Amino acid sequence: MITVNALSEVAALMGDPARAAMLSLLMDGRAHTASDLAITAGITAQTASGHLSRMVEGNLLAARAQGRNRFYRLASSDVAHAIESLMALAGTRATPASRTAAWRRDPDLRFCRTCYDHLAGQVGIAVTDSLTQHGYLEPKGPRDWKLTQPGELFCERLGVDLPGARQASSRHFARQCLDWSERRPHISGALGAAIADTFFKRGWAERLRRSRTVRLTDSGRRALGSHFGATV
C-alpha cells in the first residue's frame, strides 16, 4: 500500500529534533529566514539549508525569496493541524519519571500562543468561549462556526477587519481548531486570524521573538474583561 510509505516519509520528516524545532517555531504562522531557523535549531546554516530544502520538497514548507534573504513558512494550515495533533499525543505521554505532561512545564505557552495565525491557549479559549456564550458565534457543521448578526456588529465595534477576512475566499472563514493544551476547540480560519491581528494591532498582545508564545499586555487583560467579559 503506497499510503504506508507516504505516512512514514511525512512522519520521518517531522521526526528529527532539528526539523521539529524549526517546525515548532514556524507554528507561529509567520515566515522566518533560513538563518533564524538555523539559530533556533542550534545548527549551522548549511545543515539547516539541507533540512529546509527537504521539507519544501516534502510539501511541509513553502519558501519565498526576498532580497538576500529566503523566508520559509508552513505550506498550509493542514500541516499546522497535523503538528498540533502530534503535539497533543506528545502531551499525553506521561513519562514514568515525571507524570507531569510536557506542556505543563511551559505555562506561558499554555497561557497564550499563536497556532498558525490565530490565538490559542487559555486566551484563545477564553475569547472563543465568550463569543459563543454571547451568541456571537454558533456551531455550523462539524468543523465550522457561523458569525451571527450581533457577532458581526461586535467584531466591527472591536475593529476586526471583517471585509478583509471574507475576501480570503480560498480559506475557511470561521473554523474550529482543536487546542492541544486545553483540548477544546478555539476559533481559527480567516476570522480567527483577523481577531488575532486586532489583538496585536491594538497592543493587547505581543509576540515573543523566536517563539510561539504570546504575552498578554495589561491593556489586553483589561480588554478581555471589558470587551469579552472574561478573566484569565
Which residues sit at the interface with a copy of itself, rule CB under 8 A? Answer: 1-17, 19-21, 23-24, 58-60, 76, 78-79, 81-83, 85-94, 102-103, 105-106, 109, 139, 141-143, 176, 178, 184-185, 211
The entry of a copy of itself, DNA, none near residue 62 (CB within 5 to 8 angstroms by kind) is none
Q: Are 80 and 74 in contact (CB under 8 A)?
A: yes
Q: CA–CA separation, 86 vs 105, rounded Å?
A: 18
| Piece of the chain touching DNA by CB under 7 A; list 29-37, 76-84, 106-114, 222-230 | 29-37
Q: Are 223 and 163 in contact (CB under 8 A)?
A: no
Residue number with CB closer to DNA (69 or 219): 69
The entry of DNA, a copy of itself, none near residue 77 (CB within 5 to 8 angstroms by kind) is none
Q: CA–CA separation, 68 vs 221, rounded Å?
A: 39
Residue number with CB closer to a copy of itself (139 or 164): 139
Q: Does the footprint of DNA cover residue 68 (CB under 7 A)?
A: yes
From 8, 11, 44, 108, residue interacting with DNA (rule: CB under 7 A): 44
Q: Does the footprint of DNA cover residue 148 (CB under 7 A)?
A: no
Q: What region does 145 belong to: left with phi over 0, alpha with psi -120 to 50, or beta?
A: beta
Residue number with CB closer to DNA (44 or 98): 44
Q: Could you give the C-alpha distances from 60 to 12, 22, 55, 72, in angstroms and in order?
A: 12, 11, 5, 10
Q: Are 205 and 197 in contact (CB under 8 A)?
A: no
Q: Does the footprint of DNA cover residue 100 (CB under 7 A)?
A: no
CA angle (183, 91, 204) in 5-degree steps: 55
From the CB of 107, what's the least distance to a copy of itself, in Å?
12
DSSP-derived secondary structure letter, 176: E
Burial class (CB in 10 A: 0-12, 13-18, 19+), 117: buried
Residue number with CB closer to DNA (48 or 224): 48
From 50, 107, 150, 229, residue interacting with DNA (rule: CB under 7 A): 50
Q: Give the orientation angle of helix 45-57 with respect to helix 17-26, to 10 degrees.
A: 70
For DNA, the binding residues (CB under 7 A) are 12, 16-18, 33-35, 43-54, 63, 67-70
